[in-house]
Structure 1
Amino acid sequence: MSNIKSKITHLIEHKMFETFMFINILGYALFKISYRPLGDIFQSFIVLGFLLFLFCDFKKAIKDKAVICLFLSILLTCLSWINSTFQIPHLAKDSPNIGILADLFFFIFIAYWLKGNIKKVRTLWLFYAIGVFLTALIHSNDILADIMNGIAGQRIDFNYVNANHLSALAGTILLGSSYYIYALNGIKNKILITLFILLPSLFITIVSQGRQVWLAVLIASILTPIIVAIISKKVNIKSISIILVVVISSIYLASHIPTIEKRIHKESNIVPLILSGDVDNIPYSSMGIRMHFWSESIPWIKNNPLLGTGEGTRNFVIKESNNLPNKIKSKYTHLHNGHIELIISYGLLGVALFLYIYTLIMYSSTFYKKNNEVLIISTMFILFFAIINCFESFLFFKTGEYMINIIFGGIYTFYLTHNLSMKDNNE
């Protein structure tokens, strides 16, 4: 057995094998959502490679904090399912779906094979952007017609899930590429490449008309420089002021684009009803439906606050409601809020688990010592992801899984690589 382990260890530590795994990571980034059959093949190779690492160094891997959280997510999924068999036996699933949370930890596999290499991380994020653009290109029935209709003011989804999903993906790219335009200050070739990424992402973010994405980009842009300055203990008032002036000016200009202006004011008439708490009289518009769904969730949260009642709960809240109209109950299957769905499905323990993961990712970003690049990307993404999940259920869709695994993988690699190297030195 030791001889087999030795041979496998020699294989996975060989530069050629590491290169092969990195190619698979890039393939996953390009095709996981643009052409899933091919993306799944690349993902399978990444899993296989990580399993080989586990076979050789299980004792080392099992001590990693994210790996421990992966196993806790599986345990929590099982406990929530068991709770559902007691609390809602007539609705409970026949078995737990352990993959629904566990799939969100695939970033560990990516992080391991990136080996704490910033060039590989940047390349991965570049391929992520290209993968999103490929998704629009491949899924669209007529890409030129979509582009022209988007320019004309129509809301475009490029035939991928719905408009909010591609909007969210493009929003992350818009934030990241905006930062790199600023960070690359004066490096003409790299700035040109970044502009080729920024401009399509800006176009998709506008024409997909995802208001939650616009809000998330706005808040992340304003808060990120302040949070990073506090964490890094390097408060540069001049830099922060310049960034805020640019952001505010951009917001002012964007708000006067007819498409954006019309979309922002579309449901302004129901805001007073929402603020008054008069849920019963809120119409079933896009925003109104969300208010009704969230209101219906409150009794479910109160009844099972600790463990929730499993993955199907987000659908049960709607289908079992006595207040929602049948046309709404037949059309929708989730609550359009990833945070609420996490609570009703996996309780406060689920919330605690993911709060810990977000904290761990932020902490991990400080292990890239050269500058604040990774810390900035980490802060922007976590703020962005937290906000868009207030209005959509990205946490439980493949879109959100894809976003988390690629962005978190590129951040967590620095912490994971550091810890594994420390353990090697202690042995």
Structure 2
Amino acid sequence: MISTFSSFANLFKRRLPEQQPTWLILLGILSVTVYAFSRTGFPDIARIGSTLAILTGLWGLFKYGKIVNSHILLRFIWIAVIIQLTSWGLSQYVTPEWAEDIPKLDKLTRWFVFIPLAWWVAQRQSAIWLVWGAAALGILVSPWTTGGGFNEIIQGINGSRIDFGIRNAQHTALYFGTILIALCCFTKPLYEKNKYLLIPIGLLIVYCSLVIYINESRQAWLALLVTLLSTTTYLTIKSVKKASPKKQILSITLFILGLIALSTLLLNNDKVVSRVMVEKEAIMAVASLNFDDVPYSSFGIRLHSWVAATDFIKEKPLLGWGSNGRGLVMEHTTWLPNSIGDFGHLHNSYMEILVNYGIVGLIFYFSIWIIIGKMLFKQIREGNIKKEIGYLFATIMCFWGVMNCFESFMNFWTGVFYFNIFMAGILSKIWRASHQLNIKNHLQPN
């Protein structure tokens, strides 16, 4: 009996990461990779992979993860539960006729699936590229797994909007735009590793650019434009500070010429101009602050639903209406046409968080990016993580941030998958860097 109790106690005894069995590490990495690749095209397989990765990841983090600083992230899960319970409880008290019968605790907690996934990705140096590469590959082959293959691409070139069966065009543009940004961030280090890698990288950049162009998602065009301008402005300022007067003039001149060339290219592109001018009437109405005159176009539908949401936000600004808040806006705003109510969401992640969980919920969301970002850039400044990862984090944060202004990605599986795979890779780099630093400090003589 004593021996059995001792064996049971040892099962839950915490150990070092180096004491993990190899088979468990390989199983964890494999399950995350399968999930990353199959989620867009083979959801049933992805469900098995994600379940296995999450369960084993939580066990691995508990059993062997004492050395990594996961406490603040795990506390986020408890905070998410508390926010959802409090919001639901207040709704039951203040507006019980509109409150849900039981609280839905998965709306915020599913944002943190990346924590157990990151544990497995951190176990091997190359695992991050395996997982991110698998996710990118699953998206790149989507025309032949969920879409219409070459026929759909040809239809897009001929003027039809395409989405490859990934929910809708906005979600497809989010994925391909992210891969395009990642390729640009890592072109230089990959070229330095092997100059012949420029050939496949160049082909993939052309492929992703073509998809985004014929996809005709204006929010993706805007998000990429904002990301490009922000990045080039930062890099220009950075180079000017370190350069001689002659090189400063050259950098500024090239930056201005680049802006002129980009503006000329966009203004003379019929597809871009025609897509933007569709919203001319809505843009003019907004510019003149006549919101009531905004037509119910694609942008107009979004704007009117946001205006409707503000009335609900004003009533419960701190903790919102609960997980069904966005639905209440669409169902109980009498002046919205029924056709808009059928959408069931607000086409804006930030508005939906405000309606559902109030200012507290929105601050909570941004704090995730802030905490992860601070941890990442601390390791970059100390030289433990390469700066390209920092560029990727900053550019994706910009691109993702703009995209979420026009679509409720955080409330669809596409956005949750995107967020968790990306954050799993970033957190794995942080954990791996801090773990290696701890080992280095431990081995140094006193």
3-state DSSP of counterpart to 1:184: helix
Equivalent position of 2:366 in the other structure: 355
What is the rounded CA distance, in whole Å, between the counterparts of 2:423 and 2:26 in structure 1? 20
What is the CA-CA distance between 1:258 and the residue it aligns to?
2.9
Residues 202-281 of structure 1 aligned to structure 2 (within 5 Å): 202-227=209-234, 249-250=261-262, 252-281=264-293
Listed one character per residue, the Cα deviations across residues 15-53 of structure 1 (whole Å, up to 9, x for unaligned) are: 343233222222111111221111111111211211222
Equivalent position of 1:324 in the other structure: 336
For structure 1, list consecutive stretches of 5 or more residues without a partner in the other structure: none
Moved more, 290-299 or 14-23: 14-23
Listed one character per residue, the Cα deviations across residues 229-287 of structure 1 (whole Å, up to 9, x for unaligned) are: 88999866677876775576456435534322321221122212112222222111001
Distance 1:123 1:234, change over 3 A: farther
Equivalent position of 2:430 in the other structure: 415
Distance 1:55 1:233, change over 3 A: farther
Count of equivalent residues: 424
Is residue 2:195 matched to residue 1:180? no
Amino acid in structure 2 at the alignment position of 1:342: I
> Is the CA contact (8 Å cut-off) linking 1:220 and 1:380 kept in structure 2?
yes
Equivalent position of 2:3 in the other structure: none
What is the rounded CA distance, in whole Å, between the counterparts of 1:379 and 1:10 in structure 2? 30
Residues 101-116 of structure 1 aligned to structure 2 (within 5 Å): 101-115=108-122
Distance 1:383 1:137, change over 3 A: same
Amino acid in structure 2 at the alignment position of 1:285: S
> Is the CA contact (8 Å cut-off) linking 1:290 and 1:336 kept in structure 2?
yes
> Is the CA contact (8 Å cut-off) linking 1:87 and 1:309 kept in structure 2?
no
Amino acid in structure 1 at the alignment position of 2:121: L
The structure number with the bigger radius of gyration is 2
Moved more, 402-411 or 334-343: 402-411
What is the CA-CA distance between 1:288 and the residue it aligns to?
0.7
Higher relative contact order (CA closer than 8 Å, sequence separation 6+): 1
Distance 1:13 1:193, change over 3 A: farther
Amino acid in structure 2 at the alignment position of 1:75: I
What is the rounded CA distance, in whole Å, between the counterparts of 1:94 and 1:60 in structure 2? 41
What is the CA-CA distance between 1:318 and the residue it aligns to?
1.1
- Superposed CA RMSD: 2.9
What is the CA-CA distance between 1:121 and the residue it aligns to?
2.0
> Is the CA contact (8 Å cut-off) linking 2:176 and 2:212 kept in structure 1?
yes
Is residue 2:445 matched to residue 1:396? no
Amino acid in structure 2 at the alignment position of 1:101: L
Listed one character per residue, the Cα deviations across residues 326-368 of structure 1 (whole Å, up to 9, x for unaligned) are: 2322x21001111111111111111111111111222233224
Equivalent position of 1:364 in the other structure: 375
Distance 1:198 1:279, change over 3 A: same
Distance 1:408 1:7, change over 3 A: closer
> Is the CA contact (8 Å cut-off) linking 1:11 and 1:17 kept in structure 2?
no
Q: TM-score, normalised by structure 1?
A: 0.89
Listed one character per residue, the Cα deviations across residues 347-390 of structure 1 (whole Å, up to 9, x for unaligned) are: 11111111111112222332243531110000011111110111
Residues 127-146 of structure 1 aligned to structure 2 (within 5 Å): 127-140=134-147, 142-146=148-152
> Is the CA contact (8 Å cut-off) linking 1:30 and 1:127 kept in structure 2?
yes
Equivalent position of 1:344 in the other structure: 355
What is the rounded CA distance, in whole Å, between the counterparts of 1:278 and 1:124 in structure 2? 48
1:301 to 313, 316, 319: 313
3-state DSSP of counterpart to 2:141: helix
Distance 1:38 1:353, change over 3 A: same
Distance 1:209 1:10, change over 3 A: closer
1:291 to 291, 296, 303: 303
What is the rounded CA distance, in whole Å, between the counterparts of 2:28 and 2:257 in structure 1? 43
For structure 2, list consecutive stretches of 5 or more residues without a partner in the other structure: 1-7
